[in-house]
Structure 1
Amino acid sequence: MKTTLKALMLSGVALGLIGSATADEAELEARIAALETLVQNLSAQLEAERTQTDQDIVRLEAAASSAPATAPAAQQDGMMLGETNVRVGGYIDLDAHVTSLSDGAIGSSSIARDFHIPGATPIGGSGTTATDMTAQASRIFIAGDRDIDGNKVSGYFEMDFLGSLQGNERVSSSFSPRLRRAYIDVNGLRVGQEWSTFQNTSAIPESASFLTLSDGMVFMRQAQIRYTSGNWQFALENGDTTVTPVGGGRIEADSNTLPDAVVRYNHTGDFGNVSFSGLARQLRYEAAGIEEQTMGYALSVAGKLNVGGGDDVRFSLTGGEGLGRYIGLNAANGAAINPLTGELEAIPSYGGLIAWRHPFGETARLNLGYSGLFIDNPSYVASTMTQSVQSVYGAVLWDIAPRVTMGAELLFGQRENEAGNSGDISRFTFSTKYAF
């Protein structure tokens, strides 16, 4: 404002000088000289004010950078509820399956009608074919995080509707939600229900169905206490022993007195990622006056490798004694009861998977893979117990719109028992998924 007033005053002076000019050349030159002096003085004042303004800006910026923050940084997503950034997401999923079984049938209320559970493939009986359509894999999660005394605290809660024993398909198809994951994080500590630390989830193949190649896959969610430090992870997880009793079948003993212990090392780079995991677990059975226990051990290497052109290879290889429920969706038990001694013996098993993902076109990708689990049951177990499960699959997925994916998949699987008998499953799946 001061500068503007000075400019106006100078303009008035200039006009006055010019308006009163006479023919006297000397007088005119004197007045021009006076005008030049005024202009020079005004320029000097403007330069002084600009310099002072620049100094003020520098001083204010320095003060702001050294002052403590009084408001949280702007969030990239979610919404602020008080001091907590909250995010809600998930997906809506429709899966349509046509399942053909060479032997027997899978019950209409079984979760094995919704995705591939290797140990549920029947052996013996007449072949059947059934078509199922379900939206039970639809999922929702709520996540939140906030800063508390300089510590970032976050929480995550997730559920879907698979495996619901409430509801039926007769009228309303009303299915109850189930807990998938629920945990809190603070300073490298994760407490709650989460994927087992023994599992590398990046090795899970992309599929049109909820889950494929589960035969040799480590797949487990359970309550745990996990600590992460750099590339290392250490966890104590919920223990539960599945036992093969005399005569065959399965007992979920749930008699553990010690948690399962996991150590894992992760390595990540431009190549992708790979993890090395070790598992030690107590196998314990206590019932009807019998109290027996032994130990189980397992090792696993798994990951996802980038192989150029957008392709990747996902893999895992796992083996040990007493591995049990950690692999193949519990196609093998962790231990067996020796009918001669009554002792509990850990059951050796090993398995793995490999899958190739190849993008093509603008949004499509082809997935191919194989998975298998092989179980070294003791010689005294019943001939009906599972000896091996294997499967192959191929799936094509394409994004028909942002966040909307359609897929078609064909899976062929086989289960073989200790008697050498086998049963096959062939399943075609068509799916449509919208992620939000």
Structure 2
Amino acid sequence: MTQIEGDFYGPNNNFRLRHAYGSWDGILAGQYWTNFYGFVAGTPSIDFRGPPGVANQARQPQLRYTTGNFSVAIEDPDTLGGSERTENGVVQTEADAAKSELPDVTARYTDTSGSFKYSASAVLRQLEYDAAADANASVDDDSAFGWGVALEAAMDVSEAVILRAGLTHGDGMGGYMNVSPQTTPAYLANNGDLETLKTTGGTIGASIKAGPGAINASYNVATVDLDDEEIGGNDTFETAYLNYIWTPAERISYGIEASWASREEKDGAEGDATRIQGMVMYSF
């Protein structure tokens, strides 16, 4: 089969390519959901970007092989986070100076046992800094190894209640965590070493059927360990969602959601916000 799919989400309503792939006999080639995310732990929300702390629901070019419940893929290494460097204590970003010549490798296993569904996935990456691509570089090339794991689970406690939970952790995984406080997987320290960033996140949620729809609630958190690093910025994101999504007629869904979000920076600065969102969706 083949699929080409797009939308007009983003600045100026320009066309955005979502999926473009072909698959045959377990082999998939093209742009599709990253194999790192299992679609098991995500509690339904109206927030379009989704919660922090879970594996990223990104779409990226890949070559994937699936057999039964297991899938392995090599994926575009440039899509989910570049790198940063510091010069005299100031963080500078150089898009062409940080690259990965080798593709990211992902593997995932998803299965169901009765009312229990689970998924385990991993990503391995080779991160590199090319001094020749940065005219202002004062250090030599360097490389580092990055990795990440994600565990997801969901259980139908009854016909009306579903519980979900997920845990994501890695070192140098960068943007493979959704809404990460630091999407860069590594930075170039003043001593010339490429230092990876440790990331941890989690989610817990529940869905309860009520009337023509369901009440969904979740708490989500993502953290990046910056305590011993030379860079600053965000190190913790938290969100909580409470919504009701219902389907009054075939193909039509309504929803209303209250959410709370907070962020904290390495220096202790913090802030939070609340948001009310509504949704009308027609599926075709």
TM-score, length-scaled by structure 1 = 0.59
Range with bigger deviation, 285-294 or 230-239: 285-294
Q: Is the 8 A contact 1:209 1:431 kept in 2?
A: no
**What is the rounded CA distance, in whole Å, between the counterparts of 1:177 and 1:390 in structure 2?**
31
Query: CA shift at 1:378, angstroms?
Result: 5.5
2:101 is aligned with 1:257: yes
Cα root mean square deviation, aligned: 1.7
- The residue type equivalent to 1:260 in the other structure is D
2:40 is aligned with 1:202: yes
**What is the rounded CA distance, in whole Å, between the counterparts of 2:25 and 2:107 in structure 1?**
18
Q: Quote the residue 1:269 is aligned against.
A: 113
- The residue type equivalent to 1:278 in the other structure is A
Query: CA shift at 1:204, angstroms?
Result: 2.3
Q: Quote the residue 2:203 is aligned against.
A: 353
Query: CA shift at 1:192, angstroms?
Result: 0.7
Q: Quote the residue 2:186 is aligned against.
A: 335
2:94 is aligned with 1:248: no
Q: Is the 8 A contact 1:244 1:381 kept in 2?
A: no
**What is the rounded CA distance, in whole Å, between the counterparts of 1:428 and 1:252 in structure 2?**
36
Q: Specify the SS of the correspondent of 1:201.
A: coil
Q: Quote the residue 2:55 is aligned against.
A: 218
**What is the rounded CA distance, in whole Å, between the counterparts of 1:232 and 1:398 in structure 2?**
33
Q: Quote the residue 2:240 is aligned against.
A: 392
Query: CA shift at 1:314, angstroms?
Result: 2.4
**Number of corresponding residues:** 270
**What is the rounded CA distance, in whole Å, between the counterparts of 2:229 and 2:47 in structure 1?**
37
Q: Specify the SS of the correspondent of 1:203.
A: coil
2:248 is aligned with 1:410: no
**What is the rounded CA distance, in whole Å, between the counterparts of 1:249 and 1:367 in structure 2?**
41
TM-score, length-scaled by structure 2 = 0.89
Per-residue CA deviation, residues 359-380 of structure 1 (Å, 9 max, x unaligned), is: 112x121000011011112534
**What is the rounded CA distance, in whole Å, between the counterparts of 1:258 and 1:382 in structure 2?**
26
2:143 is aligned with 1:306: no
Cα gap change, 1:217 to 1:180, in 2 (>3 Å): same
**What is the rounded CA distance, in whole Å, between the counterparts of 1:426 and 1:228 in structure 2?**
41
Per-residue CA deviation, residues 371-392 of structure 1 (Å, 9 max, x unaligned), is: 1011112534243x11111111
Q: Quote the residue 1:38 is aligned against.
A: none
Cα gap change, 1:243 to 1:330, in 2 (>3 Å): farther
2:4 is aligned with 1:157: yes
Q: Quote the residue 2:219 is aligned against.
A: 370
Pair member with larger Rg:
1
Instruction: State how 1:166-181 maps to structure 2 within 5 Å.
Output: 167=12, 175-181=13-19
**What is the rounded CA distance, in whole Å, between the counterparts of 1:425 and 1:275 in structure 2?**
32
Q: Is the 8 A contact 2:118 2:153 kept in 1?
A: yes
Query: CA shift at 1:155, angstroms?
Result: 0.8
Q: Specify the SS of the correspondent of 1:248.
A: strand
> Which of the numbers 210, 213, 229 marks the counterpart of 2:67?
229
Q: Specify the SS of the correspondent of 2:260.
A: strand
Q: Specify the SS of the correspondent of 1:265.
A: strand
Per-residue CA deviation, residues 40-67 of structure 1 (Å, 9 max, x unaligned), is: xxxxxxxxxxxxxxxxxxxxxxxxxxxx
Per-residue CA deviation, residues 123-147 of structure 1 (Å, 9 max, x unaligned), is: xxxxxxxxxxxxxxxxxxxxxxxxx
Query: CA shift at 1:178, angstroms?
Result: 0.2
Q: Quote the residue 2:268 is aligned against.
A: 420
Q: Is the 8 A contact 1:205 1:212 kept in 2?
A: no
Query: CA shift at 1:236, angstroms?
Result: 0.4
The structure in which a higher percent of residues are strand is 2
Q: Is the 8 A contact 1:225 1:237 kept in 2?
A: yes
- The residue type equivalent to 2:281 in the other structure is K
Cα gap change, 1:185 to 1:311, in 2 (>3 Å): same
Q: Specify the SS of the correspondent of 2:157.
A: strand
- The residue type equivalent to 1:216 in the other structure is G
Query: CA shift at 1:250, angstroms?
Result: 4.8
Q: Quote the residue 2:27 is aligned against.
A: 189
**Structure 1, unaligned runs of 5 or more:** 1-153, 168-174
Q: Is the 8 A contact 1:405 1:433 kept in 2?
A: yes
**What is the rounded CA distance, in whole Å, between the counterparts of 1:391 and 1:268 in structure 2?**
28
Identity within the alignment, %:
28
- The residue type equivalent to 2:230 in the other structure is V
Cα gap change, 1:273 to 1:410, in 2 (>3 Å): same
Q: Is the 8 A contact 2:63 2:75 kept in 1?
A: yes
